[in-house]
Structure 1
Amino acid sequence: MITVENVSKSFPLNGNPVAALRDVSVDVQAGSLFGVVGPAGSGKSTLARCIALQERPDRGVVRLDGLNTGTLDGRRLREVRRQLGIVGTKPELLAERTVAGNIATPLEQLGVDGPQRRSRVGSLLDLAGLTARAAQHPGELTDGQLRRVAVAKALAAGPAVLLADDPTAGIAPEEAGAVLAVLDRARAELGVTVLVTTQDAGVVRRVCDDVAVLEEGAIVERGTVLDLIASPGSWTAQAVLPAIETTRAQTAKYDRSADVVLIGFASVGALLPEAAGRFDVELATIGGGLTRIGDTPIGRFRLGVRGERADAALAWIADRGAHVTHTARGPQSVVAA
């Protein structure tokens, strides 16, 4: 488990300190895939470097499994750093070595013998989907493949924590998906705790269990992704859920309108039709759409409801775990998205 307690960090600029992190606190559960999200300059990379023990906070503490890393130096610091795998935005690979050779480099440095080394490299090539590229050199690979090699190399020594700083930046969407799949497999199959920094809300939607949103060095939102999307005003909900675009003319046809978030297979597939039948109302989706958070289907819709029991139908939907907000009666009180 990673615990960041009230961490602040500044850097000098033209002789004056500029705050990169302001009293940041987050908890990253062991075995989770945690996203730190924010725009450029928000402090994401600085936070990652503090957790990776590449920077020391000005104030506050970073703990790894309860260990106060601020007290470490010398040999003990190097030992703890070996438990941390780090993937930067620019993969540090040796051009003269093959893909397999690059992944093997950390194992050679640790003195791992040949058979063990080859077995470990083979497993990581499979994890990264690069077995067919094992004999190629970095210059023959795409940017996305290079990122996957870098992830496999960072995992070679068996770290407990993998820190990936903006791992999908600057690569095509289909290649970004492959990189995220490798990070997700590392968490699922190797039990590695993965912390990803990113500007892309799509990364949160596809692989993250938990998220912290940074703005100007401060945490403005944190929690599980599924909890945060239930709050319509949250950054996470606005960033990862389908947009709702409706007109006043569309909502004017109905007695009642509401924005609804449905989470899970049962809710998305059956809740709305069952409510319509049970309460004898017309219930139409007039905006929004479907997405997935990891493997969980999510629906965000603007509903139009017509019928005497419209309010009862919406209350029943909410009682069954849906998140119903922004209800309005009649066209005069409906504001189009």
Structure 2
Amino acid sequence: MITVENLTKSFPGKGSPVLALREVNLEISAGALYGVVGPARSGKSTLAKVVALQEKPDRGTVRLDGLNTAGLDGRRLREVRRQVAVLGTAPSLHAERTVAGNVAAPLEQLGVDGPQRRSRVGRVLDLAGLTQRAAQHPGELTEGQRRRVALARAVATGPAVLLADDPTAGLAAEEAGTVLTVLDRARAELGVTVVLTSQDPAVARRVCDEVALLDSGRVVEHGSLLDLLALPGSQTADALLPAIDTPRAQSAAYDRAADVVLIGFAAVGALLPEAATRFDVELSTIGGGLTRVGDTPVARFRVGVRGRQADAVLAWIGDHGAHVTHLAGGPRSIAA
């Protein structure tokens, strides 16, 4: 587990220091794929560097599996740093070495013997989908493939934590998706805890279990991604769920109007039709849409309801796992 307690970090600026992190508190479970998202200069990369023990905070503590890293130095600091691998946005590869040679480089530095080294290289190349590229050189690869080589190199030594700092920046959608798939496989197959930073919240939607949203060095919200998507007023939900742009007049034409978030196959596929049949109402989807969070379908719809039991049907939908936000609507509607 990674525990970040009251973390503050500043850098020299013109006249006064620039605060990059402000009292950041987070807990990242072992084996998680944790997303840290936010706009440029929100503090994501600084947080990654502090957790990787590449930067010292002004105040606060980073604990790795309960170990307070604040007082580490010398040999002990180097030992702990080896447990935290870092994958940057523009990783540097050795142009003269093959793909396999690049991945083997950190193992050579650690003195891992030949047979064990070849075994590890083969395993992580397979995980990264690069077995067929082992004998090629970086110059023969696409940018996405080079990032996967760097990712394979980062996990070859068996770190406990992998910090991936904006690893899909500048990549086309297909190559970005492949990099994210490899990060997910590293977590699942190697047991490494992955902390992924990105300016694009959609990256977190594809692979992350939990997420923290940073802005101006502060944690705006954090928690389970699916929980945040169901939270009224969540900035994460606004960024990731389908937009609703239904005109007010269209909503007002119904007895009741509400925004409904449905999570999971059963809720998305059957809850609204079952509710309409059970309460004998007209229930129409008048805005929103469907997306996926990892493998889980998630919908945000605006629904309009006509019928005597309009209030009752919305209450029933909320009681059966959906998240309902009532809107001012037709002549009998109320704000709730």
Q: Which TM-score tier does this pair reach, normalised by the shorter chain?
A: over 0.9
Take 1:16 and 1:142, find their aligned partners in 2: how far apart are those partners? 43
The C-alpha deviation readout for 1:136-161, integer Å capped at 9, x for no partner, is 11111111111111111000100000
The sequence identity of aligned pairs, in percent, is 74
**1:156-305 equivalences in 2 (<5 Å):** 156-305=156-305
In structure 2, the CA distance between the partners of 1:188 and 1:250, relative to structure 1 (3 Å rule), is same
Alpha-carbon distance in structure 2 between the residues aligned to 1:70 and 1:291: 42
Per the alignment, residue 82 of structure 2 pairs with 82
**Deviation for aligned residue 1:253:** 3.3
Paired with 1:27 and 1:159, the residues of 2 have a C-alpha distance of: 19
1:248/1:334 contact within 8 Å kept: no
Once the 2 structures are TM-superposed, how far is the Cα of residue 223 of structure 1 from its aligned partner? 0.8
AA partner of residue 20 (structure 1): A
8 Å contact 1:232–1:238 — kept in the other structure? no
User: Aligned ranges for residues 106-117 of structure 1 at < 5 Å?
Assistant: 106-117=106-117
Q: Secondary structure at the match of 1:56?
A: coil
- Give how far 1:289 is off: 0.7
SS at match of 1:70: coil
1:173-195 CA distance string (max 9 Å, x none): 11110010011111111111000
| TM-score, scaled to structure 1 | 0.97
Would you say the 8 A contact 2:251–2:329 is kept in 1?
A: no
Superposed CA offset, 1:55-101 (max 9, x none): 00010101100101011000000000010111011112111111111
Q: Shift in Å at residue 15 of structure 1?
A: 5.0
Deviation, 1:168, is 0.7
What do the CA deviations read for 1:314-337 (whole angstroms, capped 9, x no partner)? Answer: 1000000100003334069799xx
**Deviating 4+ runs (over 6 angstroms):** 331-335
State how far apart, in whole Å, the 2-side matches of 1:318 and 1:136 are.
Answer: 56
Q: In the alignment, which residue of structure 2 is the partner of 1:58? A: 58
Q: Show CA shifts across 1:185-231 (max 9, x none).
A: 11111111000111001111101111111111111111110111111
Note closer, same or farther for the CA distance 1:5–1:235 as it changes in structure 2 (3 Å cut).
same
TM-score by length of 2: 0.97
User: Aligned to 2:328, what secondary structure does the other structure show?
Assistant: strand
What CA distance in whole angstroms lies between the structure 1 residues aligned with 2:132 and 2:243?
40
Please list, as runs of the form range in 1=range in 2, the aligned pairs for 1:23-34 lying within 5 A after superposition.
23-34=23-34
5+ residue gaps, structure 2: none
Q: Distance in 1 between matches of 2:248 and 2:220?
A: 33
Task: Find the aligned partners of 2:329 and 2:43 in 1 and give their Cα distance.
Answer: 44
Task: Give the Cα separation in 2 of the matches to 1:168 and 1:150.
Answer: 12
Q: Count residues in correspondence.
A: 335
Q: Is the 8 A contact 1:43 1:217 kept in 2?
A: yes
What's the counterpart of residue 312 of structure 1? 312
CA–CA separation in structure 2 for the residues paired with 1:305 and 1:312: 11
RMSD of aligned Cα (Å): 1.4
Please state if 1:155 is matched with 2:145.
no
